[in-house]
Structure 1
């Protein structure tokens, strides 16, 4: 462990204002706004099924990450060594191992690459994971071991998540995904952090929204370019407004964070798709559509 901390001290010695700004900007990509924007863009405007596959892998990866943190209980490097001065420590709550930012961007990138199978997505994903890992080291909030295991865990978890989601789709037993509420709720008992409750709220509404869409909404992401632009801008505007307003009304507690992200998740998966269907007069969903959506 000592050599891992010494590495952070050396990185700290080469900091400068330019690199501070660069790596602070990079680390933001590992936070909720970026991931939510990517998932909404895919779900609303590109391919609904891929959006759900990617979202499922990403959200469950975070639950897995928090479980690992709670199991290992490794303190942050700046807690272990007071001479390490973190930058933007508000992004470094809870335990250190493995890196949540790195695992999250690894899972998001791997899930997107797996869903769309485009070389440029694979390349962009690798670059993003490396940059994210570097940013967490530079900011002094993680060790090399934290980010390395985070990257591997995110990559590996996607394939496990895809297997589970694919099984539920293939066998038409989508309601089986509700079983995952059990470990999630257990986590809410033992992992008493705002970040975990936010993920739990989003995951709850994400799964329920997925089941409601499969049975009642039947949203399709197809549309003209101008329609897609309107959907994304309108959808994100309402989402950000909800995020701010609900926070002002309920404050910041574990329960209010869960409720806030539950509402945001329902907007993403239920309310926004219903609104977009009405706005752009989506044609009635019929058997032919169902066959085409499964091809």
Structure 2
């Protein structure tokens, strides 16, 4: 513990405004915004199956990492009574171990590398892998530099991301052409985790919002993809480039509108009901839009 705090202190001793912003920029690769950009681009424009695979890898790892965070309950470095360790640019909520950002960017690295290996040339695979490895290292470094994580947090977060992604790809491929049937496993697992999250909030008085959010959107993605593949059957390949652009602009605009509007609406409710609506139901609706309603809309508009 002490050596980790000393390490962070040594990094931050060279802090300056320019480097702070550079590190804050690279830390965004581990955020949900980066994930959404990759996931939506694949699901709406490239290949629905691959987009669904990536969302499975991301959300499954998020659930496991979120559960480990609650069980370990390690405070973030800047919360320790130790002189010289500061939160630079932001004060991230939640617990420290393992690093969610490091897990997230590692999942993206494994997925994109695997996609390039299966669908591109050896050169494309090498370049993609190299670029994402560099991005992963920079993201991990940024989390320590910014005072949000200990070195062991980011190392274990990376191990979680890589290990769970490799396992997830193997399990996903077992479904073959019937990958939508993964919903038979996703929905009940997310239901159990949702009950756990609500009970934890009621009896422990501690927030399990990370688990509820992921359980809500993951359950919706599984159900939505199942219904989309069986009924809507939207073809993502377009004859005009502008259609891809329209999909992304329209889809993202509606998605952020729903996210903001529902947050305000559900925020009017108090207690357990308000907590459940804001953390689970809101993200469930967002997941249904991404996986089912957006493809239906794109098909209706012929874009």
- 2:216 corresponds, among 193, 201, 226, to 201
Pairing of 1:106-125 with structure 2 (within 5 A): 106-117=106-117, 118-125=125-132
**Structure 1 residue 59: Cα displacement:** 0.8
Tell me the equivalent position of 1:254. 275
CA distance in 2, matches of 1:147, 1:138: 11
CA distance in 2, matches of 1:73, 1:102: 17
Structure 1 length-normalised TM? 0.88
Cα pair distance change 1:23/1:168, threshold 3 Å:
same
| Contact 1:193/1:254 (8 A) holds in 2 | no
Pairing of 1:24-43 with structure 2 (within 5 A): 24-43=24-43
Cα pair distance change 1:114/1:141, threshold 3 Å:
same
Cα pair distance change 1:170/1:179, threshold 3 Å:
farther
Tell me the equivalent position of 1:285. none
Give the alignment's Cα RMSD to 1 decimal: 2.0
Cα pair distance change 1:199/1:181, threshold 3 Å:
closer
Show CA shifts across 1:89-141 (max 9, x none). 44x22221110011111112212221332333212211111111011011101
Pairing of 1:71-86 with structure 2 (within 5 A): 71-83=71-83, 84-86=85-87
Tell me the equivalent position of 1:238. 254
Cα pair distance change 1:192/1:163, threshold 3 Å:
farther
1:29 is paired with a residue whose SS is helix
Tell me the equivalent position of 2:291. 269
Tell me the equivalent position of 2:122. none
1:229 counterpart = 2:230: no
| Contact 1:63/1:196 (8 A) holds in 2 | yes
- 2:194 corresponds, among 162, 166, 185, to 185
CA distance in 2, matches of 1:126, 1:28: 15
Structure 1: 4+ residue segments shifted above 6 A = none
Structure 2 length-normalised TM? 0.86
2:236 is paired with a residue whose SS is coil
**Structure 1 residue 238: Cα displacement:** 0.9
1:127 counterpart = 2:134: yes
| Contact 1:67/1:187 (8 A) holds in 2 | no
CA distance in 2, matches of 1:34, 1:127: 16
Show CA shifts across 1:129-163 (max 9, x none). 11110110111010111001111110110122123
| Contact 1:40/1:51 (8 A) holds in 2 | yes
| Contact 1:63/1:199 (8 A) holds in 2 | yes
Tell me the equivalent position of 1:144. 151
Gaps of 5+ in 1: 282-295
**Structure 1 residue 58: Cα displacement:** 0.7
Count of aligned residue pairs for this structure pair: 280
Q: Report the more deviating stretch, 151-160 or 70-79.
A: 70-79
Tell me the equivalent position of 1:22. 22
2:53 is paired with a residue whose SS is helix
1:98 counterpart = 2:105: no
- 1:176 corresponds, among 159, 184, 207, to 184
